[in-house]
Amino acid sequence: MTNLLINVDHIGTLRNAREETFPDPVHAAARCEQAGADGIVFHLREDRRHITERDVRILTETVNGKLDFELSTEEEVVSICCDVAPDLATLVPERREEVTTEGGLDVTANRQRLESVTHRLYDAGVDQVSFFVDPAPAQIEATAAAGANCIELHTGDFANASTEAAQRKEAEQLATAARTAHEADLRVHAGHGLNYKNFPLFQETVPQVAEVSIGFAVMARAILVGMDRAVRDMRTTIAGTEPRNPRS
Ligand code: PXP
C-alpha cells in the first residue's frame, strides 16, 4: 500500500500564531504515528514560520517511522539537515511571500546548486533525496541527472482543477510523469492538496506512487474530529474504502 507521511507544519503555525509552546508538532507527530501514519514530514523554512530548530531536533529523536525533512537550498537549513540526517530530504522551492509551497523546483535552471546539495546530503548519511517538481518531462529527467533517487510530483494542479474533466486531465499528466520517473529509476512520491475527496481518483489514475505527503487536509479534519480519526480516515481512503464523510 502507498505509504502515508503526515506533514505537521500546521501545528507549528497554530502554536506560533500565539507565540505559545502549544500545540506541539512533536506531540502531533506522535499522535499521527499512533494512528497509523508511516512517517512524518516537516518543512524547516528560512523564516521559521512554523517548524523551529527545536522541533527538528526533537522530531529527529522521537519519530519512529520515516522522517521527511523538506528544505530549500539555503545554506543554514542545508547544514541543519545534514546534521540530523533524516531518512528522506525533500528539496523544495521557497519564497518568503508565499502562503505555502507554490510550484515545483526549476531543476533545469538550478541544476548545479541542487546537485551539490544532493551530494552533501548523501555524504551526511541521508539515504533518500527527493526533488519536488511539477509533472514535466524535462524536470523529471533533470532530477535524475542531478543525482536525486526520489521525486515528489507536485499534485497542486490536480487538486485545484475546477472540473472533473480538468482533474482527470491533470491526473493523466501525473501518471505519465510517474512512468517517466520510474523509467529514470526514481522512487515516486506525491503531494500537495491531496485530500479525502480527491485521493481515490488520484490513486486510480496514478498507481505507481510509493508515498504521499499530506498535511492540510488531515490537520483541517483533525481540528474537528481529532487527530486519531483524521489519520485513520486518510489511511482508510488510501486502502480504497471511503471514510464516512469524504467532503474534503
Ligand atoms: N509536499 C510538499 C513538498 C509540500 O510543500 C507540501 C505543503 O507543505 C505538501 C506536500 C503537503 O501539502 P498539503 O498541506 O496541501 O497536503
CB contact at 8 A, 161 and 202 = no
| 172 catalytic residue (yes or no) | no
Tell me how far apart the alpha carbons of residues 2 and 241 are, in angstroms, rounded to a whole number: 14
How confident is the prediction for the chain on average, in pLDDT? Answer: 95
CA of 83 to the centre of ligand 1 (A): 23
- Looking only at the bridges linking them, the beta strands covering 150-154 and 211-214 are unpaired
- 14 falls in which pLDDT band (50, 70, 90)? very high
Q: What percent of the chain has pLDDT over 90?
A: 91
Cβ-contact 120, 148 below 8 angstroms: no
Ligand 1: residue of 6, 100, 102 to mutate (most ligand atoms within 8 A of CB) is 100
Return the SS3 of 231. Answer: helix
Closest CA to 73 of 136, 124, 121, 125: 121
Ligand 1 site residues, Cβ closer than 6 angstroms: 7, 9, 43, 70, 90, 92, 100-101, 132, 152, 191-194, 213-217
Express as a percent the part of the chain with pLDDT over 70: 96
Nearest CA to 85 out of 50, 122, 113 is that of 122
pLDDT digits (tens, 9 = 90+) for 189-232: 999 999 999 999 999 999 889 999 999 999 999 999 999 999 99
Q: Please tell me the pTM assigned to this model.
A: 0.96
From the number of C-beta atoms within 10 Å of its C-beta (0-12, 13-18, 19+), residue 79 rates as: exposed
- Atom of ligand 1 minimally distant from the CA of 219: 14
> Is residue 152 among the annotated active site residues?
no
